[in-house]
Amino acid sequence: MITAVLVYIANRILGNYQQQLETLATTDVLTKTSTRQVLDSYFTDITTKPAATVSLILLDIDDFKKENDTYGHNAGDRIIKAIS
């Protein structure tokens, strides 16, 4: 009985760790948006469907490197978070 309880607890802990690892692997830590790998997979899947409509928005932040270099990476991170 004790062994069964310990196995149950271990499985719950491992399940939680697995979920955390999957979240870290598929979500950008800074912006909380999907990673490129997730988007690549999504677009590959959706474009194989006959009536799929796909939209993609790409943003370019003018002079971002200058802002990042002038005001520091924390300021750059805040800019990226605000835009995302």
39-62 confidence digits (pLDDT tens): 899 888 887 888 777 788 888 999
Residue 49 confidence (pLDDT): 81
5-33 confidence digits (pLDDT tens): 888 888 888 888 899 999 999 999 999 99
Q: Report residue 2 as tokens.
A: 């004790």
Q: Could you tell me which residues come within 8 angstroms of residue 25 by beta carbon, excluding any fewer than 6 positions away?
A: 35
Q: Report residue 44 as tokens.
A: 């590959």
Average pLDDT over the chain, rounded to an integer = 89
